[in-house]
Amino acid sequence: MKEKNPWHRPVTIIITVIGVIAIVTLVTYGIVLDAGSSHTSLYIYQWPAEKDNNTGRVEQKHHCQVAGKGISSYTATPYKAGESLISCLKEAKENIPQKMHPETPLYLGATAGMRLLKLENSSASDEVFKAVEKTLRGFPFSYQGARLLAGQEEGAFGWVTVNYLDDRLTQVSMGGFKYTSVHGNESAKGALDLGGASTQISFVSDEYNGSESPDNAVSFRLYGYDYTLYTHSFLCYGKDQALRLALSGPTAIMDPCFHKGYNETKHYAAVYDSPCVSDQKPQIVSETFIHLGGGNFTQCQEVIKSVFNFTSCRYSRCSFNGIFQPPLQGQFGAFSAYFFVMNFLNLTDTSVPLKTVMQKLSDYCATPWTQVCAYFKHDIPLKYLAEYCFSGTYILTLMMEGYNFTSETYSSIKYIQKIKNSDAGWTLGYMLNLTNMIPAEAPDSPPLTYTSYVSVVTVMAILLFVIFILILYSLWPKCNTEPKII
Ligand SMILES: Nc1ncnc2c1ncn2[C@@H]1O[C@H](COP(=O)(O)OP(=O)(O)O)[C@@H](O)[C@H]1O
């Protein structure tokens, strides 16, 4: 007769429990490349394999900044646009377990730099996309496409990212109870994104249902809530193109937005080789001009105001350039260049009165260039350093004059770079959308949160292990030193 294996049951239990833990902690990955106007970034996101559609579960695992400029700058040698991505894609291979590569979706989205190139030279933009696609297909990931994002998508996905990471989209589960009082429009946070070539504003407003200026409406149903988002992307109003707008025209030479003592010979082409300003190119024989700094905040504000057109509005209300904008509502997260610039200027605290912020910026603009260089030139690229006075003034003018924030509502803006270790930007929202990670309807509230679930399984595993040891101990042949008297 076959002897019963006393080990059989506990071993099976242990293996099962370890298996369960392994499944619970398995991770899925996704890669998104943000092909921006100034540079390309690669983001790796990760989330638990057993997705239960809760919010706050997808997080950024890795970020790689592609060396060199944005893909739109490679028109003369498109293959180099593809080659530029290789080192970050190699990093992605190292950061994702090999067995997961074939099932890791890989997306590339291009924004305003490529929108401008498409306007300027559509076949050159096609060539760049072809080169990029060739490189992406050469990697073992699940390639899902490289495409141009519409400005509206860029704005809307940025809004999704901010609200997802802030846990503002779903019902909050508190001790097993659903806490629903602050969701929908009331809790959503607006998104302000300032890139190099375009800028986006996206928010929900109780006074906007999409009937006025429907082009600005994006409707979502997320976790059982309907949102009609107002969003607009201003092409040419990112900070690099806005600088060209401000530089073009007769005031180009003595520039109040640059520090006193700044004196650089620049090529006209560096200002005018963009569809944003090409029609304003002066008819001069000379190829270069001298860019002199004046260091005057008030005059700089005036120059910047002149790049916005406030004269006509065919809607009930507008921001600028005749674009409809409903009344601002709620809190706003301002990211990308909003953060880079205000962080450098030490002006990210929006509880400081706006008057004080302006005074500090004015003092900074009045600082001579030699002094600014002496302080910072070892830490900050000179191009950025030279432009912070312009960029800070542009940001405040765009917000206050362009979008109609007031000294009271300024404090509703928070300058943000990351939320819970993930960068604020359109990429996460884009991936959440394409992987159907956010359902339209609220999922049934799971009996346990993910953390509690993992904790319970772990405690069970430990408990079973202890039981196993005890059983083992009781079955182990005992060798007594004392002889037994029978
Ligand atoms: N540390 C920094 N200081 C100042 N400007 C920066 C810094 N880092 C990036 N920028 C600039 O901020 C702008 C926005 O950056 P980004 O969002 O990456 O733009 P894009 O996606 O258009 O390339 C760009 O003009 C970029 O050159």
Residue 435 domain flag: no
Residue-level pLDDT, tens digit, the chain, 486 residues: 444 555 456 666 666 666 555 555 689 999 999 999 999 999 999 998 865 555 668 999 999 999 999 999 999 999 999 999 999 999 999 999 999 999 999 999 999 999 999 999 999 999 999 999 999 999 999 999 999 999 999 999 999 999 999 999 875 433 333 333 345 667 899 999 999 999 999 999 999 999 999 999 999 888 888 899 999 999 999 999 999 999 986 545 789 999 999 999 999 888 999 999 988 887 776 788 899 999 999 999 999 999 999 999 999 999 999 999 999 999 999 999 999 999 999 999 999 999 999 999 999 999 999 999 999 978 999 999 999 999 999 999 999 999 999 999 999 999 999 999 999 999 999 999 999 888 888 766 554 555 666 677 678 878 888 888 888 877 776 655 454 444
Residue 437 domain flag: no
Task: Tell me if 79 CB under 6 Å of ligand 1.
Answer: no
Q: Which residue owns the Cα nearest ligand 1 atom 27?
A: 38
Whether this prediction's pTM lies above 0.95 is answered by no
Question: 182-202 burial, b for 16+ CB within 10 Å, e for fewer?
Answer: ebbbebbbbbbbbbbbbbbbb
Task: Tell me if 337 CB under 6 Å of ligand 1.
Answer: yes
Task: Tell me if 37 CB under 6 Å of ligand 1.
Answer: yes
Residue 162 domain flag: yes
Does residue 336 share a domain with residue 195? yes
The residue from 390, 424, 458 where one domain ends is: 424
Does residue 158 share a domain with residue 85? no
**Distances, alpha carbon 76 to alpha carbons 82, 111, 121, in Å:** 13, 19, 12
Does residue 325 share a domain with residue 242? yes
**What CATH number is given to the structural domain containing 105?**
3.30.420.40
State how far the Cα of 473 lies from the Cα of 477, in Å rounded to an integer. Answer: 9
**Which ligand 1 atom sits nearest the alpha carbon of residue 198?**
22
Does residue 73 share a domain with residue 207? no
- Left (φ > 0), alpha (ψ -120 to 50) or beta: where does 436 sit? left
Does residue 155 share a domain with residue 126? no
Residue 143 domain flag: yes
Does residue 107 share a domain with residue 53? yes
The residue from 424, 456, 475 where one domain ends is: 424
Does residue 129 share a domain with residue 170? no
**What CATH number is given to the structural domain containing 201?**
3.30.420.150
Does residue 469 share a domain with residue 328? no
Angle at 414 (CA atoms; ends 306, 316), nearest 5 degrees: 50
Residue 439 domain flag: no
Query: How many folded domains does the chain comprise?
Result: 2
Does residue 305 share a domain with residue 408? yes
**239 Cα: distance to centroid of ligand 1 (angstroms):** 8
For the CA atoms of the chain, what is the radius of gyration?
A: 28
Does residue 197 share a domain with residue 84? no
**336 Cα: distance to centroid of ligand 1 (angstroms):** 7
Active-site residue list: 154
Q: One-letter amino acid identity for 215?
A: D
Task: Tell me if 111 CB under 6 Å of ligand 1.
Answer: yes
Residue 120 domain flag: yes
Mutate which of 33, 37, 192 for ligand 1 pocket (most atoms within 8 A of beta carbon): 37
Q: Which residue owns the Cα nearest ligand 1 atom 15?
A: 195
| Boundaries of domain holding 292 | 151-174+183-424
19's CB contacts (< 8 A; 6+ apart) are none
Residue 438 domain flag: no
Q: Which residue owns the Cα nearest ligand 1 atom 2?
A: 340
φ, ψ for residue 477, nearest 5 deg: -60, 130
